[in-house]
Every structure is written in structure tokens, then in C-alpha cells.
Amino acid sequence: MRVHTLKRAVVALALALPGAAIASVVAAPAAHADGCYTWNRNLYQGRSGSDVRELQLRIAGWAGNNNVVELDGRFGPKTAAAVRRFQSAYGLKVDGVAGPQTYRKLYQLQDNNCTPRHFAYTEMDDGCGGSGWDGGPLSTGQTRQNALRTMWKLEALRKSLGDQPLIVTSGFRSRTCNNRVGGASDSQHLYGNAADLISRDRSLCQIARQARNHGFSGIIGPGVSGHNSHVHVDSRRENNQDRSANNTYWAAPSCGIPAGNR
């Protein structure tokens, strides 16, 4: 058994034990799962902290129809609802509380660098084949963090599509790259917030329709000029710090999604 697996078992035991038993277990040095992150307490409505934010990052794709999970470190009703959707999708006990079972599934899903297991930074890094996260309007660290959130949303979308592969044809673009491919001057690709998707197993319309349930405030697909060969998804509401419904834009007329704000 790998060392980090043993550490996970210790943490899970600590979460399950009451009172003094917990104190004796969690007094050990903090463990890390897969070189990424380990939770050491149950999380539920009313709790707050960096561990809540780490949870929110990973369940951002379970926000529900036309909604987002803010990465604010506060466990409120939206976070609880997203946890329940995540639990239901993976056959866990549905109670809205992030505890050992929920964490175990998250550990199974994440790689050592915190990306979900079916997506990688290399897929999201500069749509013109470059490397690095510079050349956009944000710092490299914030752009990379946005790309990580996008990947966790894509993992949720993939799960809801029957665990069929999604292929990212364009992720982050530097300004130079964006100009080269004719992207809009305010493209969400510049911020690491966007991905263009295709699938060998699911239609573009299936992707576009399902994306409405997974935290994407921007969806552009078939029926829109330049988007008949892929589906564009993005997180413009979070990028603009404006979570109002009128900052959600979906357009895939050929899929029964009329163009407009939601």
C-alpha cells in the first residue's frame, strides 16, 4: 500500500471518530493526498476556510442549471447543493456533508498536481501550441488557477455525459495566440476560463445541453457562426466577478438553445 494511501486512511479515521479520539489522531503532521491536498475535518453549511475553498474548486462543475459555486471559502447553500449532486453522481450517501466518503472519491479523481484525472494542464495551455501561462491579461498564477477550475468543471461534464471522453481543442490563449486564431478581443480564452470541446462519442448538442448544468456561464455551439465544429464553454460570471443571471450567455440554436442572456 502506498504511503499516501495510509495517510488517507488515518485522516478518514480521524474524521469518523468523536471527541478525544480525534485529538489523538489528527495531532500527527498534516498528510497530503497524491501530492495535492488532504482535508482533515468534515465540512458542512456554516463552516469556512481554505479547506472549503479547495472543496468548492473541485465541485464547481456540480453547480446546477444556470448557477455557479463561488470560490469564497464559505460553505453555504449552493456549496451544499453541489456536494449533494457530486455525491449522487458517484453513488455516495447524499447528505450535503463533505466527509470521508466524499473526500475518498475526490482523492481518486485528482492527480498529484490537483488536476482531475481525465484532464491535464497541457490540454489547457496556449491554444497555439505554446507553453506557459503568460501573455494574457492576468498573472500566470491566476490564469493557471482559472484553468484548473475549468478542468474540474469539465470533469463533472464528462461524468454526466456517461464518462465519455471530451477533447479540448483550445484552452488558454495568449494575446498573440488569440489574435492569430481570430479570437474576440475579450475572449475568455485569454483568462484560462474557457475550453473548446469535441467528442468522439457524444454529439455537440449533447455537450452544449449538458454544459448548462455544470457551472458554465458561457456556452456557444452549433448554429452560431464559427462554432458548428465544436462547443465553447467558459466561466465569464466568475471572471467578471458578476454572478447575476444577465451575465450568463448561452447560444446553440441548432441544439434548441436560443442565443441570449439567462
> Which residues is 98 bridged to in the sheet?
43
Distance CA 232, CA 234 (A): 7
Distance CA 248, CA 67 (A): 9
Separate counts of helices (H) and strands (E) for the chain: 10, 6
227 is catalytic: yes
Residue 2 vs residues 26, 33, 248: alpha-carbon distances, Å: 20, 11, 44
- Contact predicate 193/175, CB 8 Å: no
What residue spans of 33-167 are helical by DSSP H?
50-59, 77-89, 100-109, 121-124, 140-160
Distance CA 215, CA 195 (A): 13
| Of 4, 189, 214, 227, catalytic | 227
By C-alpha distance, which of 228, 174, 233 is closest to 203? Answer: 228
Q: What is the CA radius of gyration of the chain?
A: 19
Distance CA 157, CA 162 (A): 9
* Cell reading at 153: 468543471
Write out the catalytic residue numbers: 227
